[in-house]
Structure 1
């Protein structure tokens, strides 16, 4: 199996208001997010790619337009956890590129959430 990945960055605020008031994530705060999309294929296409990285520019445009420097509670219809965001980006990407096999989201340098069906 061939696997490729590409990393995207954005900054945004959110708060998880469903958590107890003394939980740090219940307060308004922000992160410098990293999104990594992974694509996999058992064979390469005629150009020798799983998929041309340039085609993934649509994800950068989507992130820059809908997520960067936004309040995620206003963007997402679900709690803006890294886990939910990984699933959201996976679904968005998979609808465009059938080779998408996983999406990872990081809120901090030490934390990652991944959605992989």
Structure 2
């Protein structure tokens, strides 16, 4: 199996107001997010790729237009956790590229959430 990944970045604020008031994530705060999309295929295409990285440009546009420097509570219907972001980006990507196998989202250099069906 061949696997490739591509990384995207954005900055945004959010607030997990459903948490107890003394929880640090209940306060308004922001992160410099990293999104990593993973694609896999048993065979390479005629160009020797799982998929040409250039074809993933629409994800950068989607992130830049809809998530970068936004308040995520206004963007997502569900709680704006890294886990929910990973699922959201996975669903968006998988609808466009069937080779997508997982999406990881980082809020801090030491934390990652991943959605992989």
Instruction: Report the TM-score range of the alignment, normalised by the length of the smaller protein.
Output: over 0.9
2:18 maps to 1:10: no
- Post-superposition Cα deviations, 1:21-68, rounded to whole Å, max 9, x if no partner, equal 000000000000000000000000000000000000000000000000
Deviation at residue 7 of structure 1 after TM alignment = 0.1
TM-score, normalized by length of structure 1?
1.00
Q: What residue is the counterpart of 1:75 in the other structure?
A: 75
Q: What residue is the counterpart of 1:20 in the other structure?
A: 20
Moved runs in structure 1, 4+ residues, more than 2 A? Answer: none
5+ residue gaps, structure 2, are none
Report the count of equivalent residues: 117
TM-score, normalized by length of structure 2?
1.00
5+ residue gaps, structure 1, are none
Q: Distance in 1 between matches of 2:110 and 2:52?
A: 29
